[in-house]
Structure 1
Amino acid sequence: MSKQSGFNAVALQNFDPQAFLDRVWQREALLIKDALPNFQCPIDGDELAGLACEDDVDSRIVIEKDGAWELRNGPFKEADFSTLPASKWTLLVQSVDHYLPELAELLAHFRFIPRWRTEDIMVSYACDGGNVGPHYDQYDVFLVQGSGRRRWKVGGHCSAHTPLASQAGLRLLEDFSVEQEYLLDAGDVLYVPPGVAHWGIAEGDDCITLSVGFRAPSEASLLSDYGDDIASFLDESIRYQDPKLDAKAHPAEISADVRQHVKSLILQHIDNDAHLGRWFGEMMTRVPDQENFVDDSLSLEEFLLALTDGEPLQLRLGARLAFDDDYLFADGLAFPYPQDQRDDVKALCEIECGITIDIAHRLSQDMMYALFCNGTLCFYDDTQD
């Protein structure tokens, strides 16, 4: 058995992480009552609406009327909220943990799942009866009740062949049969695995749900991305060469020998553990619109001078970190590190959200600067509070 790192997630109450992983994870839904006792939601409806008005924030509103659903996409204006009906609407905002440190701290409770699988925290605000219809997701999600109450109806497992009723850009289930039903109060958590049908309906106003989602790339995208990565390193001058040919063979036939030859050409490039490890770490920590975070405003000398002057470093909200025996993976890039810094790299990957960090100072100056230029580390800005 391998030696444990000693890192432990912040425990949920009434919950055994290993038993969950062994018996429930990616198999069936599970309600964890009072998982976060005395939970105080770190965001309210007005703050969420304010975020939904920002140009770079992904937001939407779903309205139900007489069994039909309408989808409106943001960014919104303040006046848009005054025109909403009195009930049965929901505001959803993606990646709120990238903007609100108090919300990002919630992720510490779910670190029994690999960090590199974490996607983001979506926040939904609903008034009485608000819902987004019966549906299923293709990823794991923990639905944390932040405030108010929501009744969740859970159905069976769905597949690509499950009939859908497309409504205004929403992929809703044509038929929905309830197998389990739960009423969640603040601090309750409902886990829903990929492909399981579910339907949450707010009971009363000020219903806020925090959806902790986990990324799950399709096998098709894995193969496509890895193939593109391999191809980017190959020399175009290296061309296909024939195996031993038979002059008597039919000129239009593609023989089994040729197919086997092509298969061996492909496998010799794919079967490379070092290449696979670097690519997978980069892909699973990749951040959409990464170019928005790149910071080349300081030279190395200016960066080191700022450190010397006591400027505190912090981890960018939403930064994605992972590591293996050779690399620190940060926001889609692989940074090689010497083995004597392994413990420091591991410690960096245990840091949560945007808190000011000292551990980075134990890394090499070149790595700190590279992480700064990559936008993973940044200098603390006290104007954000």
Structure 2
Amino acid sequence: MSSFYLSKPYQPPLAPKNLPISEPWALFGGINPKRFMKDYWQKKPLLVRGAIPAFSLASQNGDPPLVSPISYEELVELSGYDDVESRLIQSQPWRFQHGPFQKKVVPSLKKSDWTLLLQGMETHHPAAANILSWFRFIPDARLDDLMISIAGIGGGVGPHFDSYDVFLIQMSGRRQWRISQQKDLNLNPKLPLKILQNFNCEQEWILEPGDMLYLPPHIAHDGIALDAGCQTWSVGFRSPSFKELLQEGLWRLAESLEDAPELEEKFTDPKQAATENAEQLPKELIKQLSSQIQKLKLHQIDAFLPGVAAYLSEPKQQAFFDSPIKPLNPNAFLKNLAQRQLRPSPQTRILSLGKKVFCNGEEVSKNQTAMIIAAWNTLSANKYLQISSLRKVQESSLYEAYLAGWLIFDIQTKR
């Protein structure tokens, strides 16, 4: 008999709107998120047994054992979609392929030494989105995505390190983790994967379903599946370089100058004297440029940050938005907004900078009414909006985002 009939999929709950960050969490072994951030975040690893208590409780109560909410068959099917970033890694020898994959390409659970990785699963399955919702005690700007790894016995990606923080949650089967805080992070140049040339294990554990391991950046680690269908869910974080942030911020800052008509004025220099150093940039030009920079406050961080916020709110390259087949007119939109929850599409990213709100790379609060700005701020903070006080949405960025498929209504009515 298939193990599917002897087990029960775990159904992760959605986190509450206001996370109790001062209360003890099982997810962190009884410490609260505030203490976790103070003592562990970017500092040292943390192993938590029973981070998701439902798994051990099912066993204690004699219930069918819990397994991942997403089956092997579902993951294989998802790996065939164009908008899902997937990779297949096989060892002995090491081989690496990018998806999408036909079903026959992905090895069966009976085979060993393979791993299928699927990125951004929070945008494709509600269970993954629910798991991710519990990590919103960390700023949205830092959150990257939830990756699912499913493997045959012996499957793994080899000893490696990440340049970002990661929470490794065991969802099905067992995985052996070996870690090291070694300084030698040189990679083997002969392999197609980023595998460490010299890995020296310092600690090792076997994680059961419901266990979690947190690793700060640059901790060497190696995970090997001990059971067929082993699933590890990895919550990863963005770690952009200062170069990346500065380049993207400056590019958007330059674009914003299009909204400054006073800059159309031509440079003039009626006081320019005759010069014996014609090759030098004129001092008068430098002086006037300096004056313009001072007026525009381009030398201040407040002028730069909107570009950074816009960049960090951009959706992933694979993101695809479907406009509603039968879009509601503005009046029907308002009626629905009073009765149902409007939410960001799973692919949508929303960030705030003070009262400014950025959605999918655009400053959607710009030139909007106070009510629309307030609505966007609620969406950004709560990831849903239900409001009856709006009177007009036509030509607003909120309605335009709905028409573009960036915002969608819940199917069920909320009252």
TM-score grouping bracket, smaller chain normalisation:
0.7 to 0.9
- Residue 91 of structure 2 aligns to a residue in which SS? strand
Amino acid at match of 1:129: G
Q: How does 1:333-352 map to 2 (within 5 A)?
A: 333-336=362-365, 345-351=376-382
Where does residue 33 of structure 1 map in the other structure? 49
Residues 255 and 9 (structure 1), Cα distance of their counterparts in 2 relative to 1, 3 Å cut? farther
1:302 aligns with 329
Partners of 2:378 and 2:385 within 8 A in 1: no
1:167-206 matches, within 5 Å, as: 169-206=192-229
Residue among 138, 151, 155 paired with 1:126:
151
State whether residues 85 and 318 of structure 2, in contact with CA within 8 Å, keep that contact through their aligned partners in structure 1: no
1:91 is aligned with what amino acid?
L
- Which stretch shows the higher mean deviation, 70-79 or 371-380? 371-380
Structure 2 SS opposite 1:170: coil
Tell me what 1:369 maps to: 399
Matching of residue 61 in structure 1 with residue 84 in structure 2: no
The Cα shift of 1:62 comes to 0.8
CA–CA distance in 2 between the matches of 1:232 and 1:196? 39
For 2:37, the equivalent position in structure 1 comes to 21
User: Share of identical aligned residues, percent?
Assistant: 30
Q: Which residue of 2 aligns with 1:108?
A: 133
Q: What is the letter of the counterpart of residue 377 of structure 1?
A: L
Stretch deviating more after TM superposition (313-322 or 138-147):
313-322
Q: 1:204 to 1:281 in 2, by over 3 A?
A: same
Post-superposition Cα deviations, 1:321-353, rounded to whole Å, max 9, x if no partner, equal 22233312222222226667777555423446x
Structure 1 residue 279: Cα displacement: 1.6
CA distance in 1, matches of 2:204, 2:407: 43
What is the aligned partner in structure 1 of residue 409 from structure 2? 379
| Match in the other structure for 2:11 | none
Partner of 1:323: 352
CA shift digits 1:118-177 (9 cap, x unpaired): 111110001211100111112211111111111111112658xx3211455411111111
| Equivalent residue, structure 2, for 1:222 | 245
What's the secondary structure of 2:181's corresponding residue?
strand
Q: Deviations over 1:43-79 (max 9, x none)?
A: 12121111111222111111111xx411122111121
Higher alpha-carbon Rg: 2
Distance 2:333 2:379 in 1: 20
The counterpart of 1:280, out of the listed 308, 311, 315, is: 308
Alignment: residue pair count = 367
Instruction: Write the distance in 1 (CA, Å) between the matches of 2:268 and 2:196.
Output: 51
The residue type paired with residue 342 of structure 2 is L
CA–CA separation in structure 2 for the residues paired with 1:102 and 1:345: 25
Q: Root-mean-square deviation (CA), in Å?
A: 3.7
Q: 1:194-273 alignment to 2 at 5 Å?
A: 194-234=217-257, 270-273=298-301
- SS of residue matched to 2:234: strand
Determine the structure 2 residue equivalent to 1:89: 114
- Give 1:374 deviation, angstroms: 4.4
The answer as to whether partners of 2:147 and 2:235 remain within 8 angstroms in 1 is yes
CA distance in 2, matches of 1:110, 1:151: 24
Change beyond 3 A, Cα 1:362–1:335: farther
Contact 1:61/1:71, CA 8 A, preserved across alignment: yes
TM-score (norm 2): 0.75
Q: Does 1:75 align with 2:86?
A: no
> Quick check: 305-314 or 44-53, which moved more?
305-314
Contact 2:107 2:114 in 1 (8 A): no
Task: In structure 2, give the amino acid aligned to 1:164.
Answer: L
Do 1:155 and 1:178's aligned partners in 2 also have CA atoms closer than 8 Å? yes
Unaligned runs of at least 5 residues, structure 2: 1-16, 56-65
The 1:21–1:311 alpha-carbon spacing in structure 2 relative to 1, beyond 3 Å, is: closer
Q: Does 1:8 align with 2:19?
A: yes
- SS of alignment partner, residue 191 of structure 1: strand
Measured at CA, do residues 212 and 241 of structure 1 come closer, stay the same or move farther in structure 2, by a change above 3 Å? farther
